[in-house]
Amino acid sequence: MNIAVMYRRFATWRRNSKLKRLSSFEKFSALLLVVLSIFMLLPIVYILNHAFKPYQELFIYPPNIFVRDPSIQNFIELLGITKNTAIPVTRYIFNSIVVTGLGVFCITLASAMCAYPISKHKFPGHKIVFATILLTLVFVPETVMIPRYLIVSKLGIMNTYWGHVLPLVAVPTGVFLMKQFMDQLPDELLDSAKMDGAREFTLFVKIVVPMVMPAIATVAIIAFQGAWMNTESSSMFMQDEEMKTFPFYIDTLTTGMGTSVARQGAAAAAAMLLFLPNLIMFLMFQSKVIATMAHSGIK
């Protein structure tokens, strides 16, 4: 009886399914996208499984994607490495959380405040300013390392959280996305608010910012990835070990080891911990990212 009911429900679902309305090409495209999605998910599945592999599975050849005998020993090893040192691993994680939080706020705010006058005020030379900002995209990070070090040193923010954050604030991609999104806002809306007595700060905070939230979410994701994964500031601007971040600590896990086997389990666990926040951040705001990319190319 239950089988008959299930069959009737399946037959009803097939009759009402939208798949029957698709052409052969659309069905083939959908199937191809599903296969590609599964293929692109494999690295994520591998990272998550790799963190729970015991040592005898870490070096199997050919490597296995899925763990056979899951264990939390890698995480115990990661926490135990700094057990007898002055700086625990939790300090590195705390530094990364603080730096990432400050970095996302400052980068998003700076990008929005820079894009607003370029997009809506059209001051003399605004095209040159915007072109100069985009021009900075062609410079590789190595070309600005020395000037950046000199600026941070002269400001006196070495071995401080601001030494981590300020070098990350200028994000040309964030300004570009914000500006392109703000171009879609009707000027009449801002003009009517000005006629009602609204000042620039009110226009920016209460009208512009709420309407460009998809762009803000996208820039926040870009800023989060840049700040969370950054190791340059720890290696260049931080001499005190207690001010360095978690990604820098991960880079030092296997450095100087006599063999390529030591601490590989801890490195696998640390890689998963470093990857998960990026994944969660993207999943939370993926719809905003898609909306921003769609609007950024529309005039």
Q: Round to whole Å and give the CA distance between 210 and 91.
A: 36
Q: Round to whole Å and give the CA distance between 167 and 158.
A: 11
- Are residues 14 and 144 located together in one domain of the fold? no
Total tally of structural domains belonging to the chain = 2
> Residue 100: how many CB atoms within 10 A of its CB?
25
- Are residues 62 and 159 located together in one domain of the fold? no
Q: Round to whole Å and give the CA distance between 258 and 172.
A: 42
The secondary element (H helix, E strand) that includes residue 109 is: helix 89-120
Final residue belonging to a domain, choices 78, 108, 140: 78
Final residue belonging to a domain, choices 78, 109, 131: 78
pLDDT at 107: 92
Three-state SS at 18: helix
Nearest to 56 by CA among 275, 264, 277, 235: 264
- Are residues 118 and 175 located together in one domain of the fold? yes
- Are residues 14 and 153 located together in one domain of the fold? no
pLDDT at 299: 43
Which amino acid is located at 221 in the chain? I
> Residue 136: how many CB atoms within 10 A of its CB?
13
pLDDT at 13: 53
Final residue belonging to a domain, choices 78, 103, 129: 78
> Residue 241: how many CB atoms within 10 A of its CB?
14
238 φ, ψ (degrees, to nearest 5) = -115, 110
pLDDT at 259: 47
- Are residues 139 and 251 located together in one domain of the fold? yes
Whole-angstrom CA distances from 274 to 61, 67, 151, 255 are 25, 19, 29, 18
- Are residues 70 and 141 located together in one domain of the fold? no
277 φ, ψ (degrees, to nearest 5) = -60, -40
Q: Round to whole Å and give the CA distance between 140 and 254.
A: 27
Q: What angle do CA 219, 223, 228 make, to 5 degrees?
A: 150
Three-state SS at 23: coil
- Are residues 39 and 111 located together in one domain of the fold? no
For the chain (length 299 residues), average pLDDT per consecutive 10? 61 59 74 87 86 81 81 82 77 91 92 89 85 84 83 89 89 87 84 83 86 86 88 88 87 61 78 86 74 54
- Are residues 180 and 142 located together in one domain of the fold? yes
pLDDT at 98: 93
- Are residues 109 and 227 located together in one domain of the fold? yes
- Are residues 186 and 120 located together in one domain of the fold? yes
pLDDT at 214: 84
- Are residues 10 and 54 located together in one domain of the fold? yes
Range of the domain at 24: 2-78
Whole-angstrom CA distances from 283 to 14, 59, 101, 221, 286 are 31, 31, 18, 10, 5
- Are residues 24 and 59 located together in one domain of the fold? yes
